[in-house]
Amino acid sequence: MQLGYRSVSVDLHGNEYMALLGANDKFLALQGKVRANKARITRQFKSTQIFHSLAPNNTLKGISLKSDSEFTTAVFSYQNVGEFKNFLSVIEPHLQYSNGKKLGRAIALVHQDTLTTAQKDKAERRRTVIHKRLTNYLTKGPRFKHEGPTLNAIIDRIDSLTDYKLTRRYGGLRLDNVFLTQGGSVILKPSASYGFGDAIEDFVLFECEDAGQMPCAIAGVIDGYFGGVTVPANFWVGFAIFSAIYSLTRCSERARKSPQEQARMVAQSKRIMQDFDNFTRPIPRWYRSNLVKKARSEAKRLGL
């Protein structure tokens, strides 16, 4: 079978999504170097086997996984897709909001799985990983000069923080890990970091990476997840604490990579702290902003 090739996108790990097009067959493939990314792509392929039954219209369907001496290739059923974040960057705020709601509804679907007792135990043990990362931040650094309000908020609340919802986390969710189909549906890219834990953790990278640039889209994600009803107070409290933890631990881990990344992570960590008014309020500024209120109102007026 002769197949043509069209590059769709390249991820942060250098792995390429490709459309494979033949006379009668079409596929979407993810390919990367065996030595660097075999384990990652294998896990991404396995994620589609777990989540596709929960959200068949918003996840890829895995077909095959193969490796040769040079490449590992995961093949999925064909979707005519482009980058969701690129699309959001060129549309109006109310359209960003309404498309964000689509993504929120997709996340709600992947979180609907019922956990067994053993799986709930694994989800609860996720706390240990988070505590270890916080310990690493405090002992290994690099530590941020502005850490005071954030660290105080974590110390004051982490022991009394209850789980919002134990679930199977999708992992790695942010706008650049989402495709948009030609028909307007969102497709979650296969994840290598899925596991068990609190559902809130699937929203924190949106705060870290996207809320500063596209607050209307991220407000839509949260509103779509909750189906248009008032977001529960315990979600906001958990979201603020997880964001505080990530603003120190994740930003510090990434800051070690290069001086340029360190400068970006310091700015990101400060911005997250400011979003929550130095972590004195659980609902971020961008969600309360007039820009988001206007976008939400316009989307509602247009029936989007």
- Per-domain boundaries in the chain: 4-79, 83-301
The rounded mean pLDDT for the chain is 94
What fold is seen in the domain 4-79?
A: Phosphorylase Kinase; domain 1 (3.30.200)
What's the pLDDT tens digit per position in 151-194? 999 999 888 778 899 999 999 999 999 999 999 999 999 999 99
What does each C-alpha distance from 75 to 7, 22, 63, 110, 136 come to in angstroms? 14, 14, 5, 21, 38
- Contacts (Cβ under 8 Å, ≥6 apart) of 25: 1, 3
What's the pLDDT tens digit per position in 25-51? 789 999 999 999 999 999 999 999 999
- Given the structure tokens 């390919």, which residue do they identify? 31
The predicted structure's pLDDT at residue 162: 82
Indicate yes or no: pTM above 0.75. yes
| Structure-block tokens of residue 143 | 């530590």
Res. 203 pLDDT band, cuts 50 70 90 = very high
As a whole number of angstroms, the longest Cα–Cα distance in the chain is 62
What's the pLDDT tens digit per position in 225-279? 999 899 999 999 999 999 999 999 999 999 998 999 999 999 999 999 999 999 9
The predicted structure's pLDDT at residue 1: 47
The predicted structure's pLDDT at residue 132: 93
- Are 198 and 168 spatial neighbours (Cβ–Cβ below 8 Å)? no
- CA torsion, ordered 252, 189, 195, 246, to nearest 10 deg: 20
Note whether 4-79 and 83-301 share their fold. Answer: no
What fold is seen in the domain 83-301?
A: Aminoglycoside 3'-phosphotransferase; Chain: A, domain 2 (3.90.1200)
